[in-house]
């Protein structure tokens, strides 16, 4: 398996993988629990530059020329800038009044989403993607990595805790109750 920076050509596969992790949020953005509509919404942004869901912010796990996992990570200080095109689109096409809470902040490299193909789950791909992100942070001088985990997903939380993340608080995002975890990288 190879982990690499995502390319534009990966956008369609990335959208499908990230839906596994952030589908509930995408449904809220699209205004209904409609998988094709939500996936198309996400794909619209994954294939574009300079937004929080862009392929530019992704690393992918590739096995035998198939993308089997993706992790979306960006500088928390850039959340407002990266989210602006997404919110503008939502306000124009779906819900002109939707307000979205800040899920990260300056001083935190934020893991927005992590998705592993359902056929390849349980093989350690998510762990390897997270370890890759941690190692990249070490190479760039350390700092804090943060993420949110759904309180109804104890398996994901266990994975993060095993990597050294610790709970630092709770957040709500579009009515979804989440736990905020962080890892200090030296």
Mean pLDDT, rounded, of the chain:
96
Model confidence band, residue 186 (pLDDT cutoffs 50, 70, 90):
confident
Burial class from Cβ neighbours inside 10 Å (0-12, 13-18, 19+) for residue 104 reads buried
Other beta carbons within 10 Å of 65: 6
Contact 47, 39 (CB under 8 A): no
Answer with the residue of higher pLDDT: 112 or 141: 112
Which domains, and CATH codes, for the chain? 2-185 (3.40.630.30)
Per-residue pLDDT tens over the stretch 2-36: 999 999 999 999 999 999 999 999 999 999 999 99
Provide, rounded to the nearest whole percent, the portion of the chain with pLDDT above 90: 95
State the Cα–Cα distance between residues 177 and 39, nearest whole angstrom.
22
Residue 123 in tokens: 């093989």
Give the end-to-end CA distance of the chain in Å, rounded to a whole number.
Answer: 26
């Amino acid at each position: 398996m190879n982990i690499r920076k995502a390319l534009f050509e990966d956008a369609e596969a990335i959208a499908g993988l990230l839906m596994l992790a952030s589908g509930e949020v995408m449904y809220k953005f699209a205004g209904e629990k409609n998988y094709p509509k939500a996936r198309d919404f996400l794909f619209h942004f994954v294939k574009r530059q300079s937004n929080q869901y862009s392929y530019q912010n992704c690393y992918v796990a590739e096995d035998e020329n198939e993308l089997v996992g993706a992790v979306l990570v960006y500088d928390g200080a850039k959340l407002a800038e990266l989210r602006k095109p997404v919110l503008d689109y939502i306000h124009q096409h779906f819900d002109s009044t939707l307000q979205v809470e800040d899920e990260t902040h300056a001083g935190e490299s934020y893991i927005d989403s992590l998705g592993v193909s359902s056929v390849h789950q349980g093989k350690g791909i998510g762990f390897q993607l997270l370890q890759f992100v941690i190692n990249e942070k070490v190479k760039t001088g350390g700092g804090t990595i943060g993420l949110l985990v759904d309180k109804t997903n104890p398996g994901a939380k266990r994975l993060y805790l095993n990597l050294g993340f610790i709970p630092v608080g709770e957040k709500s995002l579009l009515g979804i109750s989440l736990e905020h975890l962080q890892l200090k990288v030296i």
